[in-house]
Chain A
Amino acid sequence: MSGPGPFQDKPSLRVESLTLARGERTLLRDFGFAAGPGGFVEIRGGNGAGKTTLLRAIAGFLKPRAGAIAFEGVEEPSLALHYVGHLNGLKGGASVLAHLRYWAGLFGAAPREEEALTRLGLRAQAELPARVLSQGQARRLALARLVAAPRPVWLLDEPAAGLDAQGRGVLSALIEAHRAEGGVVVAAVHEALGPAPSQTLTVGA
């Protein structure tokens, strides 16, 4: 699929000779990869191998001991990425719609609640507080951030956790659509997500 997507600057992510540690333990040493526009990088590895640490380092939450992480083709570094981690980032007292409105403001995006509700299949739950959502529905709402504010690079940490078959289908469609628009997806997974990855990396081997 060609044609100008929203990410016309051809975003890419380059990780060079990265060394990451948690406390005293070195998890990754001299780790590197590059992902171009439309790239889908699958990160595999056992529990505690450092998948989450790697994603959090790319997101800028923790400083690497050594190495560099560079985003290219993004106009504004603060608008480069989305991170969907283990924690959904939801408030029990706020409704699904309130979350989407909040994120649009927080991420400086034009409101597109309707689109997010439709694509994630949360229309029926729009007015419900996040507290009463099932685990899978809460995960869908966390993934709705990806739609609520467009970002070229997506960092997903086990995005399918808690999703049913239909939810996994929705996630696959999101990833495919993002890649078609020229976006980059980096996902830590235990089981393959729907779309075929452009490369698979193993950490902690």
Chain B
Amino acid sequence: MSAFAATFRRDAALMWAGGGALAPVGYFLGATMLVPLAMGPERALLEAAGPPLVWIAAGLAVLATLERVFQADLEDGSLDQMLLSPAPLELLVLAKGLAMWCVVGLPIALAGAPAAIALQAPVSLVPAIVLSLALGMAAFIGVGLAGAAVTAGVKRGGVLIALIVLPFFAPPIIFGSAVAAGDQVAAALSILAGCALGAAALGPIAAAAALRLQAE
């Protein structure tokens, strides 16, 4: 088994055993389902406010799970062992990100379907919303890995990671909301795919550089 596969398997198994997507999906669904209760069932209002709210809830839900990704590895000594692997640290970080996307990102994207319906999105648009959330989650996680690596050595770094990462959440949120609003769906989806690929490529490189400094 390659170092990439071994890291993916271990992280996915640990995340799954640790409650997996339960807490983030619960947070996401709870936040989005409360909106119609708070705003009332008026269709025009929900149609306007719904798409941005789905995306903000999705971003915050994944942010909460990012905080501990590398902090735990730093505290228990696993990071030292990752540094001694013949595989580049960037690749191992990518494996961790992929595991997180599968265990947390995809379930949140799927939970986007009931959330969108609750917020009066047209049913024909639901598949595009789920796809856009899946892409957006990859972008969030890619950027979030870098933020989590920078704050790994900081006790209670949750606030700090939010400050670092949230500005970079803006592009996916803008184009994701466009998809959810049914506005130029194909174009917005391609841009989201670009965000996802860019974050997945650059996030691990930045995260690995930050982690090497943390190991000192």
Contact = CB atoms under 8 A, between A and B. Distances in A.
Contact of B2 (A78, A82, A89, A105): A105
**Interface size class for chain A?**
20 to 34
B1 A89 contact: no
B70 to A, nearest CB: 13
B1 A104 contact: yes
Contacts, number: 87
B86 A76 contact: yes
A87 B7 contact: no
A56 B215 CA distance: 9
A108 B87 contact: yes
B83 A61 contact: yes
Contact of B6 (A56, A90, A91, A101): A101
Interface in A51-75: 56, 59-63
A40 to B, nearest CB: 21
A108 B78 CA distance: 16
Interface residues of B, number: 28
A89 B87 contact: no
A87 B76 contact: yes
Contact of A105 (B7, B75, B84): B7
B80 A87 contact: yes
B124 interface: no
B76 A106 contact: no
Interface string A86-112: 111111011000100111111110010
A104 B5 CA distance: 11
Contacts of A145: 81
Contacts of A111: 1
A127 to B, nearest CB: 14
16 contacts: A59-B84, A62-B215, A83-B81, A85-B77, A89-B80, A91-B76, A94-B14, A98-B13, A102-B9, A103-B81, A106-B82, A106-B85, A107-B84, A107-B85, A108-B86, A108-B87
Interface of A: 56, 59-63, 76, 78-79, 81-83, 85-91, 93-94, 98, 101-108, 111, 145
